[in-house]
Amino acid sequence: RAPRPGGFAVPAFVGVLAVNLANNQMRIHENILMLETAKATTETVSALRAGASQMKAEQKASDINDVDKVMEEINDVTDMQREIQDALGTPVGMAADLDDDELLGELDELEAEDLDDQMMAGVAPAPITAAPAAAAPAMPSVPKAAPVAPAAEADEDAELAALEAEMAL
C-alpha cells in the first residue's frame, strides 16, 4: 500500500477495479450500439415486407391478361384510325385518275411551249430572281460605360475585405 497525501493508504486492487469498470462501460456501450443496429434492421425488414405486400396487392388489381386485352384494343383502334385516314387521303373523282409522273410531264411540256413562244416573239425569258431581301432590323446600341455593381455586392465586398484584414492579424 502506498500512502496518500492525506495520510491514507490506497490498496493496489483499486487500479484493477478501475480497469474492470472501464471494460464494463465499454461492453455496455457496445451492447447499446448492437441493440440500435438490430432495431434499425428490424424496421428496415418491416418496411420491405410492407412494400412487398403492397406490390402484390397492386399486381392483383392489374392482371397480365387484362393488360394484354387493353393493348390489343388500343392496337385495333389505332389500326382502324389509320384505315380511316388512308380512306380520307385517297383521291376521288378526276383526281383519282391523275398520276404524279404524268402531271409533271405535262408541266414540263407547258413550260417548254411557253419558252418557245417567248423566243419566237423575240422576248428574252425573264430571269428568275430572288425576292428582295427585307431590311435588317435595327440592333440595340452597345453600352459604353462600365457596369456598376449593385449596392449589396459592394457591401459584401467591404465585409470580405474587413474579414481578410482581421485574418491577416
**In b/e form, how buried is each residue of 141-163, taking b as 16+ CB within 10 angstroms?**
eeeeeeeeeeeeeeeeeeeeeee
Q: At 109, phi and psi to the nearest 5? A: -65, -45
pLDDT of residue 14: 77
Instruction: Report how far residue 35's alpha carbon sits from residue 29's, in angstroms, rounded to the nearest whole number.
Output: 10
Which pLDDT score, from 0 to 100, does residue 96 have?
Answer: 66
User: Is the distance from CB of 122 to CB of 129 less than 8 angstroms?
Assistant: no
pLDDT score recorded for residue 90 = 75
Please compute, for residue 85, the number of CA atoms within 13 A of its CA located in the half-sphere on the CB side.
6
User: Mean pLDDT, 10 residues at a time, over the chain (169 residues)?
Assistant: 54 79 94 96 95 88 84 95 87 70 88 87 63 65 68 77 79
Per 3-state DSSP, what percentage of the chain is helix, strand, and coil (rounded to 5)? Answer: 70, 0, 30
User: Do the Cβ atoms of 48 and 42 come closer than 8 Å?
Assistant: no
Full-prediction pTM beyond 0.85? no
pLDDT of residue 40: 96
CA–CA distance, 44 with 159 (Å, rounded to integer): 49
Which of 29, 108, 155 shows the shortest CA–CA distance to 100? 108
The predicted pLDDT at position 143 comes to: 72
Start-to-end CA distance of the chain, whole Å, equals 55
For residues 139 and 145, give the distance between their C-alpha atoms in angstroms, rounded to a whole number. 18
Could you give the CA distance from residue 124 to residue 134 in angstroms, rounded to a whole number?
A: 28
